[in-house]
Amino acid sequence: MFNSYELKSENSPLKYLISDGYAGYDSAIKVLNEQGVTLKSCRCYAHARRPLHYYLKNTGLLKIYHTQDLKQFYKRSLVG
């Protein structure tokens, strides 16, 4: 655990919180930021894929995704 002094320090080892998007984490980060702790919320790729899949499915783009070379583009963009 870190105390508030350690988290407010420029040398704090805690800069980012990678999570699954649970709203409770965002609320905690908001409170910490209000107290002077600089902490950023990030999402992992594994949890970002599900909203992308739903978006493609709901817009009809999933059919295009499966027939085009978008799969290769998506894989390349994740790798670097």
Residue-wise over 23-53: b if at least 16 C-beta within 10 A, else e?
A: eeeeeebeebeeeebebeeeeeeeeeeeeee
| Each residue's pLDDT expressed in tens, for the chain with a length of 80 residues | 556 556 666 777 777 888 877 888 889 889 888 988 888 888 777 777 778 888 888 998 888 776 665 566 566 555 54
pLDDT of the residue at 80: 47
Q: Which two three-digit tokens encode residue 3? A: 């105390």
Residue whose token pair is 């420029």: 10
Neighbours of 8 (CB within 10 A): 14
- Model-level pTM? 0.48
